[in-house]
Amino acid sequence: MIAIRKLRTFWSLDPSARTLVREALLFPPAIWIAFRLKGVPWTQAWLRTWAGVGRSLAGPLEAAASIRQARLAQTRVKRNFRVAGTCLVRSLTLWAMLMRRGVVTELRVGVRRLEGKIEAHAWLEFAGVPINDEASLVGTYSAYDKPLAFDGWHNMK
């Protein structure tokens, strides 16, 4: 019964929302596998290619709507299928989903020491504002000065 209800809910979504849910469902495991088989730089380059760099950029209102819709898709997938991944997997999933829709975000990574342990965290920012974590949380991490592009070595000549 629950599976049928979830399918009905899925099919009741508009086509763009269904596409976002499919991406939010399929990318975390694909990214996780690609990390282990090919590494993070290759995975980010693959996502960048899939997203179609060079697409026209979304305006501020379109960007805000795309961010909201993509975050909602991730929330639906996490709630209904328990698929999320690590902070880096979640952030790269959202990064690729948004890039495909013309929204350019920055991947940020920070570190902190908590109870004697060093912790790292990844999140996305749009116009300098965290979009997949609370500012109060990311504020507890010392972020690298520049956003990270693991696949930057591909573009170096």
Domain membership of residue 67 as a residue range: 2-155
Could you tell me the pLDDT band of residue 7, with boundaries at 50, 70 and 90? confident
Token duo for residue 3? 């599976």
Q: At 152, is the pLDDT very low, low, confident or very high (cuts 50, 70, 90)?
A: low
Angstrom distance (rounded) from CA 114 to CA 122 = 16
pLDDT digits (tens, 9 = 90+) for 34-89: 999 999 899 999 999 999 865 677 787 899 999 999 999 999 999 888 887 899 99
Q: Which positions ≥6 away from 16 have C-beta within 8 Å?
A: 69
Per-residue pLDDT, averaged over 135-157, amounts to 76
Provide the whole-model pTM. 0.86
Longest CA span, the chain: 56
Q: How many domains does the chain have?
A: 1
